[in-house]
């Protein structure tokens, strides 16, 4: 645990997979281009060479086939770790995830459970247009039976992936591809986990609570620094587990600050922010000092040329922080 290594998120994920594959002989990795090539983002680089082509392999280009087959493998005793090349391409597999993987345990009264992780890079900020930028977490969070997890940096990525891999339920693991190579941090070399269903208090503050996750954590941090320059002291929470989420952590912060702002890059309507705001307004109603706010992507498809306008920016966050605190 003591040994720390500098890693970016790709390396941290690769390292988590490596540790897990070494430990669990039944774990297998499958997906498009994940074999010898190591995945289009290189998350599985070197793993086929290490664990063989029976355990780490390329599949035909068919997401429904990938997830459906993975479900069968899990039923048969393997532990599939699936890569969907981009979250935008998960939809051919939507039925298998939402109707099959998610409901399997419940519909058979717990006779079977599916221990499997479905990894996928998600999110904007890489000039990917409609189909290489989407943030589909809400679709999955809306599906009882799935766990949805989104790390924000290398340390979180490794700890959460190892926790997801140990989890007996199907986990949709969304990786913010904008952060893949943008930061390097100290990551413990050995096995460790970050518990699911737990948010992280990233910064303490008095004036407002800012909740974000994934690539939006960077925007949150930058906005909070700007706010600090204006004399505002903002508390920041990294949600990490999108569903089931850590309501307690958010509530105890809002009870202190009386103000809440949630950032998500997914379209606004019916998103994760809406869910948090609804629960917080009910449970912390008497402590609130300003309307609860969210900043989200607009309710349009993800654009190409105008993506900087689409994505929540630190300036927009600062603007809403000011309005919330000065309310």
Ligand X SMILES: Cc1ncc(C[n+]2csc(CCOP(=O)(O)OP(=O)(O)O)c2C)c(N)n1
- Which sequence positions are flagged as catalytic? 132
Helix axes 314-325 and 216-229, enclosed angle (nearest 10): 50
In whole angstroms, the minimum distance from the beta carbon of 43 to ligand X comes to 15
Contact positions toward another protein, by CB under 8 A? 32-33, 36-37, 40, 58-65, 88-89, 91-92, 127-132, 268-269, 298-301, 303-306, 309-310, 315-316, 319
In the complex with ligand X, the residue whose CB is nearer, 59 or 324, is 59
Query: Binding to ligand X by residue 92, rule CB under 6 A?
Result: yes
Residue corresponding to tokens 């930061």: 183
Residue 192 contacts which entry, ligand X, another protein, none (Cβ below 5-8 A, type-dependent)? none
Residue 319 contacts which entry, ligand X, another protein, none (Cβ below 5-8 A, type-dependent)? another protein
Residue 283 contacts which entry, ligand X, another protein, none (Cβ below 5-8 A, type-dependent)? none
Among residues 115, 121, 186, 111, the alpha carbon closest in space to that of 147 is found at 115
Question: According to CB under 6 A, which residues from 152 to 181 bind ligand X?
Answer: none
Distance, in Å, from the CA atom of 251 to the CA atom of 255, rounded to the nearest integer, reads: 6
In the complex with another protein, the residue whose CB is nearer, 129 or 188, is 129
In whole angstroms, the minimum distance from the beta carbon of 1 to another protein comes to 35
In the complex with ligand X, the residue whose CB is nearer, 58 or 197, is 58
Distance, in Å, from the CA atom of 127 to the CA atom of 304, rounded to the nearest integer, reads: 6
Strand runs (DSSP E) across the chain, as ranges?
4-7, 27-31, 56-58, 79-83, 117-122, 147-149, 171-176, 185-188, 200-203, 208-212, 234-238, 241-243, 260-267, 293-297
How distant is the alpha carbon of residue 95 from its chain centre? 20
In the complex with another protein, the residue whose CB is nearer, 68 or 113, is 68
100: how many CB neighbours lie within 10 A of its CB? 18
Distance, in Å, from the CA atom of 24 to the CA atom of 96, rounded to the nearest integer, reads: 25
Question: According to CB under 6 A, which residues from 44 to 63 bind ligand X?
Answer: 61, 63
Residue 268 contacts which entry, another protein, ligand X, none (Cβ below 5-8 A, type-dependent)? another protein
Distance, in Å, from the CA atom of 239 to the CA atom of 263, rounded to the nearest integer, reads: 10
70-89 footprint of ligand X as x/- string (CB under 6 A): ---------------x---x
In the complex with ligand X, the residue whose CB is nearer, 61 or 75, is 61
Residue 304 contacts which entry, ligand X, another protein, none (Cβ below 5-8 A, type-dependent)? another protein
Q: Within 13 A of 263's CA, how many CA atoms are on the CB side? A: 31
| Residues near ligand X, by CB under 6 A | 32, 61, 63, 85, 89, 92
């Amino acid at each position: 645990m003591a040994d720390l290594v500098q890693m970016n998120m790709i390396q941290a994920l690769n390292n988590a997979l490596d540790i897990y594959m070494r430990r669990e002989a039944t774990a297998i990795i499958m997906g498009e281009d994940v074999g010898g090539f190591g995945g289009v983002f290189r998350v599985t680089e070197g793993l086929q060479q290490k664990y063989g082509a029976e355990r780490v392999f390329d599949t035909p280009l068919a997401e429904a086939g990938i997830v459906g087959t993975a479900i069968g493998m899990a039923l048969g005793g393997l532990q599939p770790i699936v890569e969907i090349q981009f979250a935008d391409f998960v939809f051919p597999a939507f039925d298998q995830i939402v109707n099959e993987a998610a409901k399997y345990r419940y519909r058979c009264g717990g006779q079977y459970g599916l221990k499997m992780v479905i990894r996928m890079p998600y999110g904007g900020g890489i000039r990917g247009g409609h189909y290489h930028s989407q943030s589909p977490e809400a679709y999955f969070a809306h599906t009882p039976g799935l766990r949805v997890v989104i790390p924000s940096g290398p340390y979180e990525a490794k700890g959460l992936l190892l926790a997801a891999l140990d989890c007996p339920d199907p986990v949709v693991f969304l990786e913010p591809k904008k952060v893949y190579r943008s930061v390097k941090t100290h990551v413990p070399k050995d096995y460790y986990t970050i518990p699911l269903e737990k948010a992280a208090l990233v910064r303490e503050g008095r004036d407002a609570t800012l909740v974000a996750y994934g690539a939006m954590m960077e925007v949150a941090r930058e906005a909070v620094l700007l706010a600090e320059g204006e004399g505002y002291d903002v508390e920041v929470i990294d949600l990490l587990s999108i569903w089931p989420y850590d309501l307690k952590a958010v509530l105890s912060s809002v009870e202190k600050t009386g103000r809440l702002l949630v950032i998500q890059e997914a379209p606004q309507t019916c998103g994760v922010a809406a869910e948090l705001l609804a629960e917080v307004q009910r449970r912390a109603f008497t402590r609130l000092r300003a309307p609860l706010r969210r900043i989200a992507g607009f309710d349009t498809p993800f654009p190409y040329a105008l993506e900087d306008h689409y994505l929540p920016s630190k300036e927009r966050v600062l603007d809403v922080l000011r309005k919330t605190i000065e309310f």
